[in-house]
Structure 1
């Protein structure tokens, strides 16, 4: 008879967590609605060239037209189709959010776990993290875009630099707790190397906080990108953005509600849907909540 080891038990548990997570998530109506909204936004971003026309094409005689069969979201002050600009705005905003969250998570997880495992590394990294986090997010983002100039790559780089410290701190906290667990001490006692301990014991313990922080990074990056574009410091003028659309609508708040209504609604729904999904995922994965 084979006695199951700690590693085999953890591997078996890891294989069941994901199906159980999705099963429980799909039993929550509000989470299902939020997932559908996110899928719609993601589909619009991916299929923007198919679903919409040129967002920068303008016809002067069509300016400030209300929603109609020809322009379902109306036109803006330059005669551009608001529907096309909203759909392409999803492409820009979601690209910034997803790429920033992915890069931030990858860098933050490595730095955070290494800081939790090695005290000398922790002393160096956390001083840098504390210094960066002492500045407001929007100020750092503005400084980066002012130095590097507007552009999609610049915004993603600025967002990554701004959000890596937060991810690093969250993961470090989980790594410090995990590094004191008996299973980690046992692994060290039998001669397990740092890399094995990193992947097999400490990283799995940080899954829930990493997911939550990644979602927060995504939503915050989308909001900050919109804020930067709103003040003209984000994406170039030829790249449609929800923030830029809201900025252009400032002079038409009452006379052309559709100019800011549709881009603003898309931004609100995206952020709200992601927050709902991650709240439900956190509740399911949190042992203290009993997986309810």
Structure 2
């Protein structure tokens, strides 16, 4: 009986998975807010990829063009050093999205492996969760600031620091889902017929963690973008020669009323990126959540 249960359950789950993916996209595209969020993220991603082609040198400054209002020559105006705000905003998208995407990708990969192993092996869980609890006891911004202070400013340093900070949170989320999945009848049946740990990992437990992993990955992305901007705002993130939305907001502090375009456009780009990702993942979560009926 056990030998028949596991393959049958697996085949049913694979069939459901194949039919669910296109259905998610169809339902997502029927939601106006989700479509708007996708469009915003596509524009931001396109701008970051095409930054060298659609914007000039973000560090080039002309002293006589300081604090110019938006015009045909400088559509976003210029800053206090005569640099083009449009170029700095576009290249700032490149830096912020790179930090967010790379951090979320590495965090998700590491957190999924560690979290599922913790859910499958009790001895591993006892060791890893003590480390996770210790790291998560520190505020995110404080821990990230301490690591960047030790390693020095730089894009790689910020990504490394944020990855170390966010992996424990991803690990805890995945572990919770893995603990539930490891008790499912199909996993017990797979163990009964002698399925190996790797097969159980990939075929039975990992698919059960998809929704929480997607949600946590999106949260990691938005938080990484915000933390990178916060670190750059206080001068502890990216180096001065790398444009960043946070650095642009920091430079605009003395010109809040006299040159609102200095902080308005970078701030708007930051807000739209974070808001769009939150709206998108909320809609995806609602569609994938069976308790919501996939509405």
Return the TM-score normalized by structure 2: 0.98
In the other structure, the counterpart of 1:239 is 242
In the other structure, the counterpart of 1:58 is 61
How many Å separate the matches in 2 of 1:179 and 1:87? 46
Give per-residue Cα distances to partners, 1:59-93, cap 9 Å, x unaligned.
00000000000000000000000000000000000
Give per-residue Cα distances to partners, 1:22-62, cap 9 Å, x unaligned.
10000000100000000000000000001100000000000
Return the TM-score normalized by structure 1: 0.99
Per the TM alignment, residue 5 of structure 1 is displaced from its structure 2 partner at its CA by: 1.7
In the other structure, the counterpart of 2:155 is 152
Detail structure 1 runs of 4+ shifted over 3 Å in the superposition: none
In the other structure, the counterpart of 1:188 is 191
In the other structure, the counterpart of 1:136 is 139
How many Å separate the matches in 2 of 1:29 and 1:152? 35
Q: Which of 4, 16, 22 in structure 2 is aligned with 1:13?
A: 16
How many Å separate the matches in 1 of 2:14 and 2:53? 43
In the other structure, the counterpart of 1:206 is 209
Gaps of 5+ in 1: none
In the other structure, the counterpart of 1:162 is 165
Determine whether 1:102 maps to 2:113.
no
How many Å separate the matches in 2 of 1:113 and 1:17? 23
Per the TM alignment, residue 234 of structure 1 is displaced from its structure 2 partner at its CA by: 0.1
User: 3-state DSSP class of the match of 1:5?
Assistant: helix
Per the TM alignment, residue 6 of structure 1 is displaced from its structure 2 partner at its CA by: 1.6
How many Å separate the matches in 2 of 1:128 and 1:236? 31
Aligned length: 291
